[in-house]
Chain A
Amino acid sequence: MRTLFKTSYAFDINHLVDPGERARVGLLILLALGLPLLLSDYALSETMMFLCYAVAGLGLMVLTGFTGQVSFGHAAFLGIGGYAHTWFLMQGVPFLLSLPLAGLVAGAVGALLGRAASKMHGFYLAIATLAFAILMETVFGAAEPLTGGHMGIEVPPIALFGHVVESAWQSYYLYLAVLLFLVWGVANMNRSPSGRAMIALRDSETSAQSLGVNIARGKIVAFFISTFITGIAGALMAHQLMYLSPETFGLNESLKLLLMIVVGGLGTISGAIIGAVFVSFLPNAIEVLRGVLPAGIGEQVGLEPFLFGAIIAGFIIFEPDGLYGRWRKFRLFLETYPYYKRASAVRQKRYLKTGRFR
């Protein structure tokens, strides 16, 4: 087992100080940069969809994973971002301006929802966000002049500095850059007062408040950042979908986002990315599986939702820390081998919390 000797405060402040971790992340980024050489255009467009989901998962992770506010309606913000981006593009706003603007529109709506939800908890918050998602789906359908209603609307292609981006690899790098920038930003939040305030709100509102964290403001900020990022994901996704219709951003999509971060591992950035890998490539894996299975099972209609559900139930029961938690345990096993004990990964019994003020 290797110990990292910390010789300055910078070790706790800088990103990726552990050489092993730095190497792993560097390798992943290199792999991501090299993918267009390795993949066909079809596989590359699947990968771009994955990048969109990773961004959206990152957004939801800020709200649910870091701040502890569950949202059953985040697909609505994908939708707001996507429609706003499309509308801005049709008004002639350049892509590079339209993308953050779409994020801001989603963020503004999210902050309003956060203002309304700042006094709600758990169950009630879940219902409120669920209701919001249903409402927004209806609004997308009804606001025909802006969204094209149920007929749908065509998304203009990406154009940078007057040139239409035609090849998939160019937009792939653009998407990757957006993801890396947002991951860097969220990681920055986590090492600064705003991000710590979110974690404080998640773990104990009472003491966060007594240390000077404004609960209502903190939640609104969390909603804003989360929905801003999700809005950008929606804008990127719009180009991949090429055609937007309200049903795309329905409840199913919201659940998919939530399940993604649970399976990936709540409370970590890596969890959002790993979860995105899971939801993006599972349908393809199931397609392959269909070919292998005997026809009686392989051709069943409900196979995909069934496997989705089964895997998620399995995670919640056996590995609440998600895939990323499993990976950390595996690493602990390797690092401490042969001294690893099963008990090292068992959580201590939580002390009972009583005397809450609500």
Chain B
Amino acid sequence: MSTLSVRNISVAFGGNKALSDVSFDVGPGQIFAIIGPNGAGKSTIFNAVSRIYDVATGSISFGSHDILALAPHQVVATGIARTFQNIELFDNATVLQNLLVGCHSRMSRNMLADFLFLPSVRRGELAARHRVEEILDLLDLQHLRGERVADLPYGARKNVELARALCADPKLLLLDEPASGLNPEETTDMAFWLKDIKEELGVTILMVEHDMNLVGRTADRVLALANGRVVAEGTIAEVQANPDVQAAYLGVTA
């Protein structure tokens, strides 16, 4: 099992420091939540881990892999899959096709073999399809299999994006606000799924989340971030009790 370890990373956009000197470790089998006010740099951490942003200083490693040495499309092969804050699905494709792209990193691709659809390609498709069906079962999405994503409501898209990330067979799942835009009932479902994913699939989860209800119910550890700096780290109770965290959210009393 692998640990994600983020060491002293800083990310700057021009003079604007989005992250300064942030360090934390996500151990195997944990659900680790990052909380913080808007603009605290939560999504920036995700974008640094998935190599969309370059970090100025610091290091990120996952197990024995040095993440910062990889190109963005190579990150998923180390076992890190992610979702996005503003859903990034392939809108003009069906749910099934979306999930099959999720399997992309585990499938062999050969342009010529694909063009001729050799028997090996069919075998690969069937194997990928098998994986997709398992995930559809887990998240209760079977009825949406053939729907075009553009025709789905928001909550369903959120789940499809989670399913797509799971199709990559990750060891670590980065979820950017899994509960945003979901109603209380859907949020409860999400909490159950996160636990299922952790316990049944043995996937470590790192999530950014504003819904304290969801964080309280699922997270083993919480990291509070404000203005690009770590304010507190610990269990949800410890973090909520921390006066610096309260000050970051509510301001300081005079």
Q: Which residues of A contact B (CB under 8 A)?
A: 9, 12-13, 185-186, 188-189, 191-197, 199-200, 202-204, 206-215, 221, 224-225, 267, 347-348, 350-355, 357
Q: Can you add 9 more A-B contacts, CB < 8 Å, to A193-B107, A209-B52, A355-B84?
A: A12-B96, A194-B115, A196-B104, A197-B104, A204-B89, A209-B72, A352-B86, A353-B86, A354-B86
Q: Judge whether A204 and B109 touch: CB under 8 Å.
A: no
Q: Which of B137-153 contact A (CB under 8 A)?
A: 150-151
Q: Judge whether B115 and A189 touch: CB under 8 Å.
A: yes
Q: Determine the distance from Cα of A253 to Cα of B87 in the docked complex, in whole angstroms.
A: 39
Chain A residues, Cβ within 8 Å of B231? none
Nearest chain A CB to B224's CB is how many angstroms away?
22
Chain A residues, Cβ within 8 Å of B151? 348
Q: Determine the distance from Cα of A328 to Cα of B124 in the docked complex, in whole angstroms.
A: 31
Nearest chain B CB to A51's CB is how many angstroms away?
20
Interface SS of chain B: helix
Nearest chain B CB to A214's CB is how many angstroms away?
5
Q: Judge whether A350 and B91 touch: CB under 8 Å.
A: yes
B81 within 8 A of A: yes
A193, A203, A208: most-surrounded residue (chain B CB, <10 A): A193
Chain B residues, Cβ within 8 Å of A348? 150-151
Q: Determine the distance from Cα of A354 to Cα of B43 in the docked complex, in whole angstroms.
A: 14
Nearest chain A CB to B55's CB is how many angstroms away?
15
Q: Judge whether A357 and B73 touch: CB under 8 Å.
A: no
B102 within 8 A of A: yes
A-B contacts, 10 of them at CB < 8 A, read: A185-B115, A193-B100, A194-B110, A200-B93, A207-B84, A209-B52, A209-B72, A210-B73, A221-B111, A354-B86
A192-B117, A197-B101, A355-B85 known; A212-B73 Cβ under 8 A: yes
Q: Judge whether B115 and A188 touch: CB under 8 Å.
A: yes
Number of interface residues of B (CB under 8 A): 53
Q: Judge whether B81 and A351 touch: CB under 8 Å.
A: no
Give which listed residue, A9, A12, A210, A354, contacts B82 with CB less than 8 A. Answer: A210
Q: Judge whether B86 and A355 touch: CB under 8 Å.
A: yes
B105 within 8 A of A: yes
Q: Judge whether B90 and A204 touch: CB under 8 Å.
A: yes
Q: Judge whether B73 and A193 touch: CB under 8 Å.
A: no
Closest to A200 in B: B101
A200-B90, A203-B89, A357-B47 known; A212-B114 Cβ under 8 A: no
B43, B91, B101: most-surrounded residue (chain A CB, <10 A): B101
Give which listed residue, A206, A213, A214, contacts B84 with CB less than 8 A. Answer: A206
Q: Judge whether A194 and B109 touch: CB under 8 Å.
A: yes
Q: Which of B65-97 contact A (CB under 8 A)?
A: 71-77, 81-82, 84-93, 96-97
Give which listed residue, B75, B91, B113, contacts A210 with CB less than 8 A. Answer: B75
Closest to A206 in B: B88
Q: Judge whether B93 and A213 touch: CB under 8 Å.
A: no
Q: Judge whether A188 and B114 touch: CB under 8 Å.
A: yes
A9, A203, A350, A352: most-surrounded residue (chain B CB, <10 A): A203
A191-B117, A211-B164 known; A12-B52 Cβ under 8 A: no
Chain A residues, Cβ within 8 Å of B40? none
Q: Determine the distance from Cα of A193 to Cα of B129 in the docked complex, in whole angstroms.
A: 12
Nearest chain A CB to B244's CB is how many angstroms away?
28
Nearest chain A CB to B104's CB is how many angstroms away?
5
A193-B107, A353-B86 known; A210-B117 Cβ under 8 A: no
Nearest chain A CB to B184's CB is how many angstroms away?
21
Q: Judge whether B102 and A211 touch: CB under 8 Å.
A: yes
Q: Judge whether B73 and A194 touch: CB under 8 Å.
A: no
Give which listed residue, B43, B93, B104, B129, contacts A211 with CB less than 8 A. Answer: B104
